Amino acid sequence: MDRVALRGLKARGHHGVFAQEREAGQAFVVDLVLGLDTRPAAATDDLAKTVHYGIVAEEVVAIVEGEPVDLIETLAERIAAQCLKHQGVEEVEVVVHKPDAPITVPFDDVTITITRSRV
């Protein structure tokens, strides 16, 4: 299986358990790896035979900016489900970064990584 990766998709969302996260919002960063067979697209040089990563990027940002959820696990699951709606995408790895998570000690990042497939 081939891989198309999108790294560092940035959006502002209102996800989190705490009221201040819901009210003020914060930055989220999403990385995706889409698993698909790119041979038909490569053989014909036809965008319609692969995944349009520009559209995927817009959809992911819309999810992050959309309906708030408590957990980044839920956010990652919604993103994965949307990616798998694209014809040809058989598998997706989603990493959601929450770099401004409300943690009281110094840290660089909080992430959740999930892998989902059509099977």
Catalytic positions = 98
Nearest partner of 38 among 28, 26, 24, 53, judged by Cα:
53
Residue 34 CB coordination number (10 Å): 25
Angle of CA points 15, 62, 113, to nearest 5°? 60
Rounded to whole angstroms, the Cα distance separating 13 from 80 reads 17
| Residue 92 CB neighbour total at 10 angstroms | 26
Give, rounded to a whole angstrom, the gap between the first and last alpha carbons of the chain: 14
